[in-house]
């Protein structure tokens, strides 16, 4: 028996840091969507639990027990074995939830593989703040420390997006340490339905990623990435998560494809993809 699952990139269209709890965790308010760029999980029968990492971004992924995939598998294994293969296409520690998406895909795949229910929400949250939202893979408003999830409107049909990462590492704890104000306003109570990409961009202009400025102070090249995206004619350019991946929104998929080509021509060393920002038809796993 073989079970396959997909782990799409998580994109924070907004990321408002609204406070810090006594235990040190920061509270957030974020509009999260998912893109067609993705990793893949493959589960096969085996006597022991193991992980093999393949794909273009495999070199930067630790295959040991500290890997989120193995930690997620450990929640469900109960002494059982499975050979897990992670095909890594998304860059590591890049602000698009790659590890969290991989963990979520692993839980879904093993649930089907072993015929077991998923772990409890608290156990899933303990894997990481982004893992619960990655379980759903739909536009979502994420609040609290990642445990408060509510449905968000679908993204405009036919719109396009590019993701660009300059291949620099960013320390999330360092970004939060550099954040001067940790008690910022949340998003409006109601997220509207967007009639088109321009309407989404106009709304996003009034929102924020509060981690963008401190991230640029740590890695100034993030500012270069944002400018490169703006120079392609994007409706808006913004950093996702704690960086260093940035996104650009376009009216059409064709414009997003052309923007990716233009950026690659100037910066072939940067990682980048383009896709349509429509509801992605994902494997049910």
pLDDT digits (tens, 9 = 90+) for 34-43: 999 999 999 9
Burial of 186 (0-12, 13-18, 19+ CB in 10 A): middle
**Cβ-defined contacts of 145-150 (< 8 Å, 24+):** 145/21, 145/25, 145/26, 145/27, 145/28, 146/28, 147/121
Given the residues 10, 29, 88, 102, the one annotated as active site? 10
CA distances from 258 to 9, 97, 172, 197, 231 (A): 21, 25, 31, 17, 12
pLDDT band at 158 (very low <50, low <70, confident <90, very high): confident
In percent, how much of the chain has pLDDT > 70? 97
Residue 285: pLDDT band by 50, 70, 90 thresholds?
very low
Sequence ranges of the domains in the chain:
2-151, 160-276
Contact 102, 110 (CB under 8 A): no
pLDDT tens digits for 167-186? Answer: 998 899 999 999 999 999 99
Q: Is 189 a catalytic residue?
A: no
What pLDDT score was predicted for residue 115? 96
| Average pLDDT of span 8-27 | 96
Which pLDDT value is given to residue 204? 98
pTM of the model: 0.95
CATH class of 2-151: alpha beta
pLDDT at 146: 96
Average pLDDT, the chain: 94
283 pLDDT band, cuts 50/70/90, is: very low
Domain at 160-276, CATH homologous superfamily:
GHMP kinase, C-terminal domain (3.30.70.890)
pLDDT per position as a tens digit, 231-281 = 999 999 999 999 999 999 999 999 999 999 999 999 999 999 999 986 544
Verify whether residue 23 is a known catalytic residue.
no
Q: Which of 29, 39, 102, 130 is catalytic?
A: 130
What is the structure's pLDDT at 278? 63
Percent of the chain with pLDDT over 90: 90
| Structure confidence at residue 244 (pLDDT) | 96
């Amino acid at each position: 028996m073989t079970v396959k699952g997909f782990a799409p990139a998580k994109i924070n269209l907004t990321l408002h840091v609204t406070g810090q709890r006594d235990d040190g965790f920061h509270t957030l308010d974020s509009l999260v969507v998912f893109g067609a760029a993705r990793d893949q999980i493959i589960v096969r029968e085996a006597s022991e639990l193991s992980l093999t990492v393949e794909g273009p971004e495999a070199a930067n992924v630790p295959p040991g027990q500290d890997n989120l995939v193995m930690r997620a598998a450990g929640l469900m294994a109960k002494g059982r074995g499975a050979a897990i293969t992670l095909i890594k296409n998304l860059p590591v520690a890049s602000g698009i939830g790659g590890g969290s998406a991989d963990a979520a895909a692993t839980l879904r795949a093993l649930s089907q593989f072993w015929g077991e229910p998923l772990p409890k929400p608290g156990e899933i949250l303990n894997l990481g703040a982004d893992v619960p939202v990655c379980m759903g893979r739909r536009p979502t408003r994420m609040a609290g420390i990642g445990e408060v999830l509510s449905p968000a409107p679908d993204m405009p049909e036919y719109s396009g997006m590019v993701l660009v990462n300059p291949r620099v590492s960013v320390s999330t704890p360092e970004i939060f340490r550099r954040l001067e104000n940790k008690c910022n306003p949340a998003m409006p109570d109601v997220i509207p339905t967007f009639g088109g990409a321009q309407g989404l961009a106009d709304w996003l202009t009034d929102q924020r990623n509060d981690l963008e400025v401190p991230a640029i102070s740590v890695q100034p090249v993030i500012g270069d990435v944002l400018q490169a995206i703006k120079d392609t004619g994007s409706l808006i350019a913004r950093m996702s998560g704690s960086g260093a991946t940035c996104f650009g929104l376009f009216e059409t998929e064709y414009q997003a494809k052309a923007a990716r080509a233009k950026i690659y021509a100037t910066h072939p060393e940067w990682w980048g993809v383009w896709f349509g920002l429509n509801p992605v038809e994902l494997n049910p796993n």
